[in-house]
């Protein structure tokens, strides 16, 4: 019974965190582990509190991740694809529709995680890992290659052929590659010589991720002239059944790849889901993004306790494993139960929370909301990583501003993880760091 209550508490906190523009659940989780591990372990007589609380946090956060993306353009590293279609609907006065479609996709993804991964995962996935693990590194680099090559020139309006047209076409593409390279450089610095020192190094990537993905959107809100139109909460047209099936299947596939392959994050999983789904139907696209995000977060965490697998994927699994979790015989069932319980909460609670956030945004305006978000992020980064964390976040925000200002994909900023960790997976990280003068 305690497990269920803890899962619900975690779910509620996760949903609140998800509604705060720019705040990442891993940062909050890190602070919980840093300050609360000793007390909670004493209260609950061991590490049994960790799994349900973390499961709840992840489900709540993944479920309502569309709220800051759609309302404030402040996604995390796995929700940036929801920004454009979500904001388009928001500007048409259909913000509720965008958010609830993503939440519905998340719920469908959660059902998929529990049913598909829960039932056949323990039999199938250990075998898949055994077969694939020697190939993870080149699979990762192929995924990166696809990610970079699948970007297209957006400024290619009709104009006379020649150098000017070529340069115009390559400007946004080139800036995408620049973003990828710069964020990879930042990733190497953070991985090998984090300016924040060793004391809280496990949270070292948090300021960079917030700077790359959340802060640029909030900063641009401050200088943009965008006014959110009224958002009537009317009956929404339900997408056709085949759209649902295609979207959920695409989201499961994309999120599953993101959760299973090392280093490939939810953002890349969302890209794969998006390409599987296509951009023809923005509503189906949003459903697939919600499903991919949930499968990435919840599925990735389930892999930690899956019998025969025990795989660490994602920051949450890493923190649980690091901070004294002692594996038990019922861990798998405990996490499945916590997924169901927090999923039930996700089905019940979001409507008033989303309505509250929407009302707040419309009442105080996007600029004030963004100022509040920036202040909150500043406090969180200062508390978790101190002054060095602020420095990292500022530089990361500079890199993160390039994609929206030059019309390229925000996803290119994922180079912060993909390049250094991909090099590590290929066994060349030391050589690259030495070449960069970081060793």
Partner 1 sequence: MTLPSRRPKHPPADAPDSRDAFCPSCERFIGPADVCPYCDCDSARSPWWRHLRMVALCLAVGGLALLHAAAQRQVPERVEIRCVGPAMQYGWVRIEGTLVERPLMRQESEAAAYVAFWVDDGTGRIRVWAEGPVAAELYRDGRLNRTGSRLDITGMVGMGRDRRPRIQVLHDAHLAPAITRDKSPGSP
List of residues contacting partner 1 (CB under 8 A)? 34, 91, 93, 154-155, 157-159, 168, 172, 182, 185-186, 189, 191-195, 197-202, 204, 223, 225-227, 229-230, 318, 321-325, 391-392, 394-395, 397-399, 401-402, 405-407, 427, 430, 433-434, 436-439
CB of residue 415 to partner 1, shortest distance in Å: 12
Whether the CB-CB separation of 400 and 413 falls below 8 Å is answered with: yes
CB of residue 295 to partner 1, shortest distance in Å: 26
Cβ-based nearer residue to partner 1, 145 or 436? 436
Cβ-based nearer residue to partner 1, 16 or 391? 391
Cβ-based nearer residue to partner 1, 8 or 402? 402
CB of residue 290 to partner 1, shortest distance in Å: 24
CA-based radius of gyration for the chain: 21
Cβ-based nearer residue to partner 1, 58 or 175? 175
> What is the C-alpha separation between 360 and 373, in angstroms, rounded?
13
135 secondary structure, DSSP code: G
Cβ-based nearer residue to partner 1, 329 or 437? 437
Whether the CB-CB separation of 110 and 66 falls below 8 Å is answered with: no
Cβ-based nearer residue to partner 1, 44 or 185? 185
Cβ burial of 138 (10 Å; 0-12, 13-18, 19+) is exposed
C-alpha closest to that of 88 among 103, 98, 101, 78: 98
Cβ-based nearer residue to partner 1, 335 or 366? 366
C-alpha closest to that of 319 among 426, 206, 401: 206
Helix or strand run (H / E) with residue 254 = helix 241-260
Whether the CB-CB separation of 79 and 294 falls below 8 Å is answered with: no
> How many residues make up the chain in this entry?
439
C-alpha closest to that of 121 among 336, 344, 266, 265: 336
CB of residue 322 to partner 1, shortest distance in Å: 4
How does DSSP assign 70-130, residue by residue? Answer: HHHS---TT-GGGHHHHHHHHHTT-HHHHHHHHHHHHHHHHHHIIIIIHHHHHHHHHHHHH
> What is the C-alpha separation between 21 and 214, in angstroms, rounded?
7
Whether the CB-CB separation of 311 and 129 falls below 8 Å is answered with: yes
CB of residue 26 to partner 1, shortest distance in Å: 13
Q: What is the dihedral of CA 65, 91, 150, 402, to 10 degrees?
A: -80
Cβ-based nearer residue to partner 1, 176 or 269? 176
Cβ-based nearer residue to partner 1, 13 or 228? 228
CB of residue 15 to partner 1, shortest distance in Å: 27
Q: Report the Cα 348 to chain-centroid distance in Å.
A: 23
Cβ-based nearer residue to partner 1, 347 or 368? 368
CB of residue 201 to partner 1, shortest distance in Å: 3
Largest CA distance in the chain: 73
Q: How far is CA 253 from CA 55, 62, 103, 134, in A?
A: 21, 16, 18, 21
CB of residue 91 to partner 1, shortest distance in Å: 5
> What is the C-alpha separation between 369 and 358, in angstroms, rounded?
11
CB of residue 255 to partner 1, shortest distance in Å: 26
CB of residue 33 to partner 1, shortest distance in Å: 8
């Amino acid at each position: 019974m305690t497990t269920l209550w803890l899962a619900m508490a975690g779910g509620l906190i996760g949903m609140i965190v998800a509604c705060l523009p720019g705040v990442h659940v891993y940062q909050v989780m890190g602070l919980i582990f840093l300050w609360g591990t000793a007390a909670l372990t004493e209260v609950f007589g061991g590490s049994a509190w960790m799994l349900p609380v973390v499961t709840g946090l992840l489900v709540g956060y993944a479920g309502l991740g569309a709220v800051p993306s759609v309302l404030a353009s402040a996604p995390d590293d796995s929700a940036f694809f929801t920004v454009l279609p979500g904001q388009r609907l928001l500007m048409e006065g259909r913000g509720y529709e965008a958010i609830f479609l993503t939440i519905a996709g998340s719920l469908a993804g959660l059902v998929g995680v529990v049913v598909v991964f829960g039932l056949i995962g323990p039999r199938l996935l250990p075998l898949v890992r055994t077969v694939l693990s020697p190939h993870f590194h080149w699979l990762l680099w192929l995924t990166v290659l696809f990610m970079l090559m699948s970007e297209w020139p957006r400024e290619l309006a009709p104009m006379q052929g020649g150098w000017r047209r070529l340069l115009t076409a390559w400007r946004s593409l080139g800036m995408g590659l620049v973003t990828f390279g710069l964020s990879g450089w930042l990733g190497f610095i953070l991985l090998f010589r984090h300016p924040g020192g060793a004391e809280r190094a496990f949270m070292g990537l948090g300021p960079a991720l917030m700077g790359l993905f959340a802060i640029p959107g909030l900063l641009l809100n401050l200088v943009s002239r965008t006014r959110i139109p009224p958002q009537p909460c009317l009956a929404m047209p339900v997408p056709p059944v085949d759209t649902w099936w295609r979207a959920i299947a695409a989201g499961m596939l994309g999120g599953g790849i993101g959760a299973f392959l090392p280093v490939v994050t939810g953002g890349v999983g969302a890209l794969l889901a998006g390409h599987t789904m296509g951009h023809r139907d923005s509503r189906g696209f949003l459903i697939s993004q919600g499903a991919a995000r949930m499968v990435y977060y919840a599925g990735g965490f389930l892999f930690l306790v899956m019998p025969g697998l025990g795989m660490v994927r994602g920051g949450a699994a890493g923190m649980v494993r690091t901070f004294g979790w002692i594996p038990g015989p019922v861990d798998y069932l405990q996490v499945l139960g916590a997924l169901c319980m927090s999923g039930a909460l996700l089905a019940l609670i979001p409507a008033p929370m989303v309505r509250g956030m929407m009302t707040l945004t419309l009442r105080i305006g996007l600029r004030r909301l963004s100022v509040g978000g920036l202040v909150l992020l500043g406090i969180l980064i200062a508390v978790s990583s101190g002054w060095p964390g602020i420095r990292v976040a500022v530089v990361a925000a500079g890199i993160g501003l390039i994609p929206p200002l030059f019309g390229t994909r925000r996803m290119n900023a994922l180079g912060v993880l993909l390049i250094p960790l991909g090099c590590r997976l290929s066994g060349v990280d030391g050589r690259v760091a030495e070449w960069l003068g970081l060793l």
